[in-house]
Chain A
Amino acid sequence: MTDCPRGDMRDLLPDLLHEQLDAATRAEVARHVASCAACAEELELLRSMRRALSPAPHVDVGRIAEAVVASRGATSDAPDVRPLHSQQAPRVGRRIAWRIAAAFVVAALALGTWFAAQHRPSDTPVTVATAPTHLDSVPPAPHATVAPLTAPSHSSAAVKTPAAPKMLASTGLVMDGGVKDLSDGDVRLLLQSLDSLSAIPDADPTPMSYQIGDDGGAR
């Protein structure tokens, strides 16, 4: 068997066989087949092939239809076998039911928490955190500054427990530390106090010399 060079015509031969062409195309193909031995032969082969392959095994249509209907009943809960309009209502209903159930759970948890708080032993401090109602209007906490856990090494003296201050009864000065810690005014006040002492020992005291450091402290 030879093949017709008109591939477009050969493509349409099965459609001609099944009468699926419009009138104009069918007439055109029919004219070609009438003048083309290869296409006429191929069309006849197609017709024979169709006849040879057409017999179909018998199937029980009624039984198949019953199976289809039965499967619909068996899977009536499956959402994909029901029509769209009948699916919407159950889906919405299930959604609402889930929300109601969730609301009940939340309410039960809240009630349980409140009940437990009410019956907690009195010696146990109860901390109730309340969220601020207006965050923007809440001023910063007055003690918001957090002290460092470890003091810097250069100020290690600060962590020492200070000794009880010593007060000079006559001057009203508080001696907390040494002379170096006194300010200029304090030092002058101290000297004046010393000058005013009446009970001065006979032996001349060693002359005192002192300097005022840059930081104002006596050295």
Chain B
Amino acid sequence: MTEPKPTADEPTDGALIARWQSGDERAATLLVERHATPLARFVAGLGERGEVEEVVQDTFVRAFASLDGFRGDSSLRTWLFTIARNLVRDRARGRKGARDVVSIEEWHAATEHDALDAAVADETEAQMRRAVETLTPMQREVFTLRVTEGMSYKEIAAVVSSTEGAARVHYHNAMRAIKEFLDD
């Protein structure tokens, strides 16, 4: 999905951060409401099993705990995604002996969300999710951020600690791999 853009009536992320820093706790709620769902989608897309909310919550807690270190030269959204990605990777490293990545199909089957049940029923969409599973972790991250979240290559590079050029290459390689999978 595209970056949550505040309407004219809604304060920007920067304004909410300033309000939070001045003691307005309501600002935290607004920021969580704005970014929690895209983060949950991204975390689930990375294969985090059943602990998506825990990762998302940890992401926000860590982000808010160090908001003073947030330079503002990247968007809050990019920063949150970067934290979430690192958390998922850390958790995967900590799960020795266990599968660190669960298939998107398994995750969708494990959830009780009505919309997901409907999505799983759609064979075409299920085939596309399987196609994404064939990607390398980096390709999957880049492709998800580009297609699902609508991030620019610059933002993606910031999240995955790479360059814009490398992000572009990963995206096109992912696209080619998906096409080949679907053509087979």
Contact = CB atoms under 8 A, between A and B. Distances in A.
Interface stretch (A14-22, A100-108, A155-163, A198-206): A14-22
A57 B57 CA distance: 13
A10 B65 CA distance: 40
A25 interface: no
Contact of A64 (B57, B68, B132): B57
Contacts of A61: 29, 32-33, 36
Contacts of A54: 1, 41, 148
A63 to B, nearest CB: 7
Interface residues of A, number: 46
Given A51-B125, A56-B38, A65 B29 contact: yes
Interface in A71-114: 71-72, 75, 78-84, 87
B44 A57 contact: yes
A48 B150 CA distance: 14
Main secondary structure of the interface of B (DSSP, over half): helix
Contacts of A48: 124-125, 128
A20 B150 contact: yes
A68 B68 contact: no
Interface string B106-118: 0110010101100
Contact of B32 (A18, A20, A65, A84): A65
A78 B122 CA distance: 49
The listed residue with most B CB atoms (<10 A of its CB), out of A48, A65, A87, is: A65
B77 interface: no
A71 B65 contact: yes
B60 A46 contact: no
List the 10 closest A-B pairs by CB distance, nearest first: A18-B150, A83-B21, A52-B125, A56-B41, A65-B29, A18-B2, A52-B128, A1-B179, A59-B53, A65-B32
Contacts of B25: 69, 72
Given A15-B150, A63-B53, A83-B22, 10 more contacts: A1-B183, A42-B175, A49-B132, A51-B125, A53-B132, A55-B41, A57-B111, A57-B116, A58-B111, A59-B40
